[in-house]
């Protein structure tokens, strides 16, 4: 670091964006929007064995107004889609959306009259997790990639 | 358990009303006209020798591509707890031809008939609450009919992808 630092190790210098990004990526409060069998894998990923808490994303908030991370876990059909849109609209910025499992990514095996063919038709998605259902390792990989995305993006304040 | 128990009795009771019957491994099936359904069903439930207390399932089949005189078959599965016996009753109807409701005799028929009505467009005359059961009011068409467009959908939220339906 080129900045002269007369205080030695007592102070570190950084950029504001990097500092806020670091804080945000380690304190994601997830809102689990669980509708189907992928919920089992979400439970597994968040419980002790795989432990989402290692990434600061353990504490589910069951109100979108207190959540940063919308985990859409399971099939979303057209009848339900206004509810998902409303939950997303109630979240405060910065907010992130993870499409968890094949159904949320593309409709999965359900290419029919009832199911939304990918939740990105309804809300913007930051991270897509494939799998039917995805293994917890895949979920952790997505969370780590989302952390990198948060860290490396300009922070809105 | 392969002897026929219910079909001969029904033939004795209703004669020509039983249009057809068959049995496979002890599962007995009778086909009756829709205008006799109420009479036959009441008897099935209340006659001591029949006592079909339980309507296990009710659905329809669309025979669009088989060129039958009547397009649909409405299928009823009855179970008698008293006699430990099953009976399948089929009613053949054309598009728009009403079938009498059984919701006043078996409460399970209420939701089954609502589902069959919204999925196949079959009218159940006299149903106490004929709203759709699973589909939303904006939905158009009857999705389990054979001529329903597989790509059709009726989104409630406008798609974010331009020029594409959800």
Residue A37 maps to which CATH number? Answer: 3.40.50.12280
DSSP assignment of B50-72 equals: T---EEEEEEEEE-GGGT-SSSE
* Contact residues on chain B for A123, CB-CB shorter than 8 A: 160
Q: What is the pLDDT of residue B162?
A: 66
Q: What is the pLDDT of residue B4?
A: 67
Q: Does B35 touch chain A (CB under 8 A)?
A: no
Number of other CB atoms surrounding residue A23 within 10 Å: 12
Q: What is the pLDDT of residue B153?
A: 86
The distance from CA A77 to its chain's CA centroid, rounded to whole angstroms, is 20
Q: What is the pLDDT of residue A82?
A: 95
Mean pLDDT across B41-69: 93
Q: Would the pLDDT of A128 be above 50?
A: yes
**Chain A, nearest residue to B155 by Cα:** A78
pLDDT band at B2 (very low <50, low <70, confident <90, very high): very low
β partners of residue B116? none
User: Under an 8 A CB cutoff, do B166 and A120 touch?
Assistant: no
Q: What CA–CA distances, in Å, run from A8 to A2, A11, A14, A15? A: 13, 7, 14, 18
Q: What CA–CA distances, in Å, run from A123 to A70, B124, B137, B166? A: 10, 40, 23, 11
DSSP assignment of B24-49 equals: ETTEEEEEE-GGGHHHHHHHHHH-TT
Number of other CB atoms surrounding residue B134 within 10 Å: 14
Bridge-based pairing of strands B27-32 and A30-34 is unpaired
Residue B94, phi then psi, degrees to nearest 5: -95, 170
The distance from CA B14 to its chain's CA centroid, rounded to whole angstroms, is 20
- Report the CATH number of the B6-125 domain: 3.30.460.80
Residue A145 belongs to some domain of the structure? yes
**Least confident stretch, A5-14, A65-74, A84-93, B107-116:** A5-14
pLDDT band at A32 (very low <50, low <70, confident <90, very high): very high
**Chain A, nearest residue to B162 by Cα:** A121
Give dist(CA A107, CA A46) in Å, integer: 24
**Chain B, nearest residue to A77 by Cα:** B155
Mean of pLDDT over chain B: 90
Could you tell me if the ipTM is greater than 0.85?
A: no
Q: Does A123 touch chain B (CB under 8 A)?
A: yes
Domain range spanning residue A100?
Answer: 31-150
Residue A141 belongs to some domain of the structure? yes
Contact, A71 vs A42, CB < 8 A? yes
Mean pLDDT across B60-88: 93
Q: Is the dihedral of CA A10, A14, A17, A21 positive or negative?
A: negative
Mean pLDDT across A37-44: 92
Q: How many domains does chain A have?
A: 1
Q: Would the pLDDT of A110 be above 60?
A: yes
Q: Would the pLDDT of B150 be above 60?
A: yes
| pLDDT above 70 coverage of chain A, percent | 98
- Every domain of chain B and the residues it spans: 6-125
> Which chain B residues in 142-161 lie under 8 Å from chain A, judged by CB atoms?
143, 148, 150, 152-157, 159-161
Q: What is the pLDDT of residue A56?
A: 86
pTM over 0.90: no
Q: What is the pLDDT of residue B144?
A: 93
Contact, A87 vs A49, CB < 8 A? no
Q: Would the pLDDT of A142 be above 70?
A: yes
DSSP assignment of B109-135 equals: HHHHHHHHHHHH---EET-S--S-SSS
Q: Does A112 touch chain B (CB under 8 A)?
A: yes
């Amino acid at each position: 670091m080129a900045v002269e630092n007369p205080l030695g190790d007592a102070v570190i210098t950084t950029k504001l964006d990097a500092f806020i990004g670091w804080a945000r990526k380690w304190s994601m409060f997830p809102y689990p929007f669980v509708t189907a069998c992928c919920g089992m894998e979400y439970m597994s990923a968040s419980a002790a064995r795989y432990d989402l808490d290692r990434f600061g994303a353990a504490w589910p908030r069951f109100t979108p107004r207190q959540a940063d991370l919308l985990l859409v876990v399971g099939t979303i059909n057209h009848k339900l889609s206004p509810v998902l849109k409303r939950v997303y609209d109630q979240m405060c910025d910065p907010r992130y959306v993870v499409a968890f499992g094949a159904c949320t990514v593309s409709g999965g095996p359900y290419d029919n009259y009832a199911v939304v063919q990918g939740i990105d038709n309804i809300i913007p998605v930051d991270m897509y997790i494939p799998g039917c259902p995805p293994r917890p390792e895949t979920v952790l990989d997505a969370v780590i990639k989302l952390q990198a995305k948060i860290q490396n993006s300009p922070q809105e304040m | 358990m392969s002897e026929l128990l219910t079909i001969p009795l029904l033939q004795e009771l209703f004669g020509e009303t039983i249009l057809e019957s068959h049995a496979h491994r002890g599962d007995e099936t009778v086909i009756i006209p829709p205008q006799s359904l109420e009479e036959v069903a009441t008897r099935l439930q209340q006659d001591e020798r029949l006592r079909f207390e339980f309507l296990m399932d009710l659905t329809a089949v669309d025979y669009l591509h088989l060129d039958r005189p009547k397009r649909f078959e409405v299928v009823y599965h009855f179970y008698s707890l008293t006699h430990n016996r099953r009976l399948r009753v089929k009613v053949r109807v054309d598009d728009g031809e009403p079938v009498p409701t059984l919701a006043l005799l078996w409460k399970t028929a209420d939701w089954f008939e609502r589902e069959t009505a919204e999925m196949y467009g079959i009218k159940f005359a006299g149903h106490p609450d004929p709203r759709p059961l699973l589909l939303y009011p904006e939905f158009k068409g009857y999705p389990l009919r054979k001529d329903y467009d597989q790509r059709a959908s009726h989104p409630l939220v406008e798609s974010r992808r331009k020029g594409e339906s959800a």
